[in-house]
Amino acid sequence: MIINSSNLQKLGISTHKLLIGLVSIIILGTTVAPPTSVYAGSNNDEVSCFERGLIDGEDHPFSQSTNAKCGDDYYQGFLQGCTSVDGNSRDICESVTDG
């Protein structure tokens, strides 16, 4: 079946409604797309979540808000950074992530 105005009218669809529907789908498809990368910084500072976790684990407290935004990447980076500090065990590092 070829889509033209007479076929649309037979189906009870006006070309105006069809156009509005297509434009809506295009707008929603381009504005609802998820981000391709997550960065830990508040100013899009090009530091990945894993790197932010690594830095925090070495010399800063565990950030619940960054963890909520980044998830496992931040958590794994934090554990790696924390365990790299002399005297820290994995158990100690995991205990400081409990919120």
Q: CA-CA distance, 4 to 22, in Å (whole number)?
A: 15
Asked if residue 14 lies in contact with residue 8, where contact means CB atoms within 8 angstroms, the answer is: yes
**Which residues in the chain land under pLDDT 50?**
33-37
- Report which DSSP code applies to 71: T
Q: CA-CA distance, 45 to 34, in Å (whole number)?
A: 19
Q: pTM for the complete prediction?
A: 0.56
pLDDT at position 34: 46
pLDDT at position 70: 93
pLDDT at position 33: 45
pLDDT at position 35: 46
Q: CA-CA distance, 66 to 42, in Å (whole number)?
A: 9
pLDDT at position 3: 64
For 75-91, write each residue's pLDDT tens digit. 999 999 999 999 999 99
pLDDT at position 39: 55
Place of tokens 């500090």: 85
